[in-house]
Structure 1
Amino acid sequence: MVEQSNRKGILLMVAVTFIFAMQDGISRHLAETYNVYMALMVRFWFFAGFVLLIAARSPGGIKRATRSGLPWVQLIRSIVLITEVIVMVQAFVYLGLVHSHAVFACYPLLVAALSGPVLGEKVGWRRVVAIAVGFIGVLIILQPGFGVFSPYALIPLAAALLFALYSLMTRYVGRVDPASVSFFYTGVVGAVVVTAVGIWHWENMILSDWGWMGILCFTAATGHFLLIKAYEVAEASAIQPFAYLQLVFASALGVLVFHEALEMNVVIGAAVVVSAGLFTLWRARVAAN
């Protein structure tokens, strides 16, 4: 029995968000220099190897990890995730880390909005209002109808929708399959799908960028391992709000390293989106008690 500690879980989640933000910065650098499919292919090769290692050392081994009660849903869910990753990395290239994460922060609101029609969950009027307020925040960031609006701003919004669908399907399969099975499908199917595309876009990387690729692969495995540990030692409702720190870390990286601008509309809109998201998470926790 693993000792439960929300404090430890929160610290782990903070570490996870920092690691994932650094990953996003490295992904942006590599995707600006090399083909995005190739860069993600190498990353998922390493991730799949990590998943296979974890599965082999678990009770029942790899055979147990492949045994799903909903294999087709697991397959579609994994394809949705790799598609989301590709779309989000493209957003980093075209829009930058600050704007991309500011818009992507709306994904918990999309999860809440779609949980009713997809999972049959009850969505009360308070959460409906929070969702509406959150999307007002997205509009503040995007500024539709103004000269500064770019169609590229819709890319992270598409990524948020895909990640929301992935999250909902993860909940759905979680009713039947253990987390180890979902984790296995995520890594292995993702690697197979992106390899089918990325292998045709192979480019030679310079030695220093292979170093960045190695760091990216290592941090991907480390981040996912710490995330698993965080949910193992703490309540999901206690640590989930801290996932928004990835927006803070990624924005700081974008400003300090990539010299991105931090416009006031993005700051205000992101604050509205995060506030609405935190309220939605709080209402979900209240409803569960």
Structure 2
Amino acid sequence: MNSAITKNRSSEISMGLMLMFISVLVSPLIDIFSKLAITTVPSAEITAARFAIQALCMLPIVIWRKKLTDSSWRQSLFHAIRGAIITISMISFVSTLKYMAVADAIAIFFVEPIILTILSSLFLGETIGWRRYTACGVGFLGAILVIQPSFQEVGYVALLPVVSAVCIAISAMMNRALAQREDPWVMQFHMGLWGLLFCGVLLFFARGSGSDVFEPVMPTMIGLVWLLGVGVTAAIASILGVYAYRSAPASTLAPLQYFEIVSATIFAWLVFGDFPDAIKWLGILIIIASGLYIIWRERRFASKPVSDTSEATRAP
């Protein structure tokens, strides 16, 4: 009996690993389509398209599960705050892609688990030892190696992935308070709904402003294709992630997230011809090593992984 249970659990974990691997292969395509769209469409409109398509994809599942009206007013307020934070994160990240290579932006963004570690210590009272704090410091050093040449090329825009990472880290902390009592599909749906609302307000008031970030435009046919690509790949990656985290522990899946940097580099090289130089690769490897060390320490001490972003949607 125990052998059958163990075998079944092992099979579930293997399925979770496979789904997460596919998810991190698909996720960089969100950024590729966003970078293609950003040449003619403002980042707020790209973000709105992602929210709209993602919410539409989640809606049938939420209705089928009879969870559409489950949220209380308090939970709705919680979702609204999350939606605002994720909106800031996504607009920041997509705006970066107009000026920076995809792989560089994603590498900088992956300081998020490091930021989450520090914030969890400060605001959630989680015990973080000196080793993990040291790993955080080393990880930020790696980020500086990636940021510095980009900063010289594009200025303060190079810091936007850090803004995005801080927002996602805050959202991940909020998710912990909600994930224990709410369906993950409902969380994803409401995040998309509130994000779309906030983006709609920004686009409405930005009409005639001349802002290349917020002023809405009528996309060309090829622009619509890129927007559709952003939304569909985001929905696919999100759904795969949900099922992956249902099949395997977050601590088991977390290291696979860093493969996204590699897959993003490959896609960016194939589509745009972008490839990080030696200094940036050194920074990327330091960020990955620091993140993996933090995850290893968390697993060793069986603490709730501070790098668990299973319910947070990474910025595109």
TM-score (normalised: structure 1): 0.91
Alignment CA distance shift 1:181-1:214 (3 Å) = closer
In the alignment, structure 1 residue 94 sits paired with structure 2 residue 99: yes
Partner of 1:106: 111
Match among 16, 25, 28 for residue 35 of structure 2: 28
| Native 8 Å contact 1:119 1:172 kept in 2 | no
1:62 aligns with 2:76: no
Kindly indicate whether residue 130 of structure 2 is the aligned counterpart of residue 125 of structure 1.
Answer: yes
| Contact 1:43–1:217 (CA under 8 A) maintained in structure 2 | yes
RMSD: 2.2
C-alpha distance in 2 between matches for 1:277 and 1:190: 28
Structure 1 position 274 matched with structure 2 position 288:
yes
Q: CA offset at residue 51 of structure 1?
A: 2.4
Deviating above 4 A after TM superposition, structure 1's stretches of 4 or more consecutive aligned residues are: 146-149
Paired residues of 2:54 and 2:189 also in contact (CA < 8 A): no
1:211 aligns with 2:225: yes
Q: 1:63 corresponds to which letter in structure 2?
A: T
| Structure 1 pair 57–164 and aligned structure 2 pair: CA distance change class (3 A) | same
AA at the equivalent of 2:34: S
1:75 and 2:89 equivalent? Answer: no
Of the three residues 10, 16, 20, the one matched with 1:13 is 20
- CA distance in structure 1 between the aligned counterparts of 2:197 and 2:152, rounded to whole angstroms: 41
Give the C-alpha shift of residue 148 in structure 1: 5.7
- How far residue 40 of structure 1 moved from its aligned partner, in angstroms, is 2.1
Select between 261-270 and 147-156 the one with higher mean Cα deviation: 147-156
TM-score (norm 2): 0.83
Q: Distance in 2 between matches of 1:109 and 1:17?
A: 19
**Deviates further, 155-164 or 266-275:** 155-164
CA–CA separation in structure 2 for the residues paired with 1:75 and 1:122: 30
Q: Which amino acid in 2 is paired with 1:182?
A: M
- SS of residue paired to 1:288: coil
In 1, Cα distance between equivalents of 2:21 and 2:172: 20
Aligned partners of 1:21 and 1:250 also within 8 Å:
yes
Percent of paired sites with the same residue? 25
Q: How far 1:147 sits from its partner (Å)?
A: 5.5
Residues 122-142 of structure 1 show CA distances to partners (whole Å, capped at 9, x for unaligned) of 111221111111111112222
Q: Which runs of 5+ in 2 are unaligned?
A: 208-214, 304-316
Structure 1 unaligned residues grouped into runs of 5+: none
- CA 1:61–1:142: 2 relative to 1, 3 Å: closer
Among candidates 191, 195, 208, match of residue 190 of structure 1 = 195
SS of the residue corresponding to residue 33 of structure 1 reads coil
Contact 2:51 2:195 in 1 (8 A): yes
Shift of residue 67 of structure 1?
3.1
Superposition deviation, residue 107 in structure 1: 0.6
